[in-house]
Amino acid sequence: MANPFDKAQELKEELKASEQFTTLKNLHDEVNNDEVAKKMLDNFRELQMSLQQKQMNGEEISEDEVQQAQKQFEVVQQHEQIMKLMEEEQRMSQFVGELNKIVTEPLEELYGVEGSENE
């Protein structure tokens, strides 16, 4: 029987070689090489993380904070490369989620987790 860690390493290499990852990496590099775009995205993500942290701590998010986040998102939306990157990040997240679902399927079957039926 194959070692699961060896298979995980193979999967890592397959993921790195995939078209999805290559596209994501290229977009990431483009945004990071554009000072303005990088700063815009960093500011947006910093605010996003701050608000998520507040939510996780059970703190209320003010209307001002919501408006500030909305304004920053509107600014970010105006930058084509940032939007392409964010769209590709979403696709990659879905892709990894699907892989995770496959890998964890035996555990779901073992513990009878709802929704583990093939859809």
79 in a structural domain = yes
Question: How much is the pTM?
Answer: 0.80
Tell whether the model's pLDDT for residue 80 goes beyond 50.
yes
Contact 44, 73 (CB under 8 A): yes
Tens of pLDDT, residue by residue over 87-111, are 999 999 999 999 999 999 999 999 9
Contact 69, 48 (CB under 8 A): yes
103 in a structural domain = no
Give pLDDT, residue 116.
45
Distances 92 to 5, 61, 103, 106 between C-alpha atoms, Å: 22, 29, 16, 23
80 in a structural domain = yes
46 in a structural domain = no
Give pLDDT, residue 119.
46
Tens of pLDDT, residue by residue over 10-57, are 999 999 999 999 999 999 999 999 999 999 999 999 999 999 999 999
